[in-house]
Amino acid sequence: MDVDYIIVGLGLAGLAFIEELQRNKKTFVVFENESQVSSKVAAGMFNPVVLKRFTPVWNGKEQLDIAIPFFENLESVFSKKYIHYIDIYRVFKSVEEQNNWFVACDKPLLSSYMSTKILVNNNKEVIAPFGFGKLQHTGKVALELLLNDYYKKLSDENKIIKKSFIHDDLIISNDGFTYNNIKAKKIIFSEGYGLKDNPFFNYLPMNEAKGELLTIHAPKLKIDYMLKAAVFVLPLGDDLYKVGATFNWKDKTSVPSEEGKTELINKLEMTIKTPYKIITHIAGIRPTVKDRRPLIGIHPTYKNMAILNGLGTRGVMLAPTMSKFLYNYIENNIPLEKEIDIKRYHSYLD
């Protein structure tokens, strides 16, 4: 089999780059062993405001201008609804936070998303004595549904190999790569936190942050917005809500823990005061980077080998833009911005 690209990993990053390949009529094959689940367990939110400090997300508006049409196109391809717009109600902890919200509302990058009206809490099941600030034009993408649909489509087209990629079996030559019976001109690694086992790129300083989430049934809560306080509470329909998320920098497993569950319960009970039942408890590992910028670029030695990784908690917003940047870098020699290019970490090779 001869292809233009081998893609290793079919999370959100891999999917986005494949879409770029298909738009440009490039051939490819994907390796996916389903060992990395961070994209599937993620809440899938898109929101250009940092809710802790009321500041703009880095390049958030520009990313959304690309991301929304990207996911709308996938909705057309699969005749399914993946984008769900939902307001976010940020719980205020004090009058000072209310004042900070008003100040942020005047910033040009934030004014179209942040309502200038402080909302009074009229829901006795929610703990919010200082009310809420409302974010609009935000929402979520049904990532698990999308990734499952995409996986099936590639499987039906015989473009996916459901096996682990063995890095040591890759044969590198001047004109590309050979892997078993596959010859490819280029290879892209989008393995999530599997990067740690990749001998070509494991010098990059990725931090694996375990995140755990609950799904609860809370029939009296009755909210149609995402509640953001010590945890987020995201409505799923039928009185079900997703609750998250933890950040654990020590535990590198994808196994739900009692410690994580206890943390979520304690924070949830600071946010709502309604009866609920835990339905599911899941965990995943986020690929994060210390400077909070993606890991994108070409290997310092092998010029046809590249990486697309480190999208972290804002993968829905980042993946379409970053895949476009990487494709244009590889195929059209359009330089990457310095703050996302892995060249910023080449000193780690010394």
- List residues bridging with 84 in a β-sheet: 140
**For residue 349, pLDDT beyond 80:** no
Backbone φ, ψ for residue 73 (5° rounding): -65, -40
Q: Quote the CA–CA distance of 242 and 276 in Å, as a whole number.
A: 12
The answer to the question of residue 265 being in a domain is yes
Q: How far is CA 244 from the centre of its chain?
A: 14
Same domain, 219 and 323: no
| 37 vs 86, higher pLDDT | 86
CB 10 within 8 A of CB 150: yes
Residues 227, 300 within the same domain = no
At 254 the pLDDT is 83
pLDDT of 39: 57
Same domain, 196 and 222: no
Q: Pick from 240, 273, 289: which residue ends a domain?
A: 289
- What mean pLDDT, rounded, does the chain reach? 93
- What tens digit of pLDDT does each residue of 180-231 get? 999 999 999 999 888 989 999 999 998 888 899 999 999 999 999 999 999 9
HEC letters along 163-200: CCCCHHHCEEECCEEEECCEEEEEEEECCHHHHHHCCC
Does position 240 have pLDDT exceeding 70, yes or no? yes
How do residues 274-320 score in pLDDT, each as one tens digit? 999 999 999 988 888 888 899 999 999 999 999 999 988 889 999 99
What's the structural domain count of the chain? Answer: 2
Q: Are 279 and 148 contained in the same domain? A: no
Residue 148: CB atoms within 10 A of its CB come to: 12
Residue 119 lies in a domain: no
Domain that holds residue 12: 2-42+144-205+291-349
**pLDDT tens, residue by residue, 15-67:** 999 999 999 999 999 999 876 555 556 778 999 999 989 999 999 999 999 99
CATH of the domain at 333: 3.50.50.60
The structure's pTM equals: 0.92
Q: Could you tell me whether strands 139-141 and 45-46 are parallel, antiparallel, or unpaired per DSSP bridges? A: antiparallel
Reported in sequence order, the residue ranges of the chain that DSSP labels E, i.e. its strands, are 2-8, 28-31, 45-46, 49-50, 55-56, 83-85, 88-91, 132-135, 139-141, 160-161, 171-173, 176-179, 182-189, 206-217, 226-228, 232-237, 240-244, 277-289, 295-298, 305-309
Asked if residues 26 and 4 have their Cβ atoms less than 8 Å apart, the reply is yes
Q: Is residue 80 part of a domain?
A: no
Query: What's the first-to-final CA gap in the chain, in angstroms?
Result: 37
Q: Are 296 and 345 in contact (CB under 8 A)?
A: no
Mean pLDDT of 254-283: 95
Element (DSSP H or E) covering residue 99: helix 95-105
Question: In CATH, what number is assigned to the domain containing residue 285?
Answer: 3.30.9.10
Q: Is residue 211 part of a domain?
A: yes
Q: Do residues 298 and 251 both lie within one domain?
A: no
| Residue 76 placed within a domain | no
Predicted confidence band at 350 (pLDDT cuts at 50, 70, 90)? low
Q: What is the mean pLDDT of residues 325-331?
A: 98
297 with 342, same domain? yes
Q: For residue 208, what pLDDT is reported?
A: 81
Strand partners for 207: 288
Kindly state whether residues 302 and 198 are assigned to the same domain: yes
Q: Is residue 59 part of a domain?
A: no
* Closest alpha carbon to 243 in 211, 210, 275: 211
Is 348's pLDDT higher than 80? no
pLDDT of residue 285: 83
**Cβ atoms within 10 Å, residue 318:** 29
Asked whether residue 55 is assigned to any structural domain, the reply reads no
Q: Looking at the domain assignment, is residue 71 inside a domain? A: no
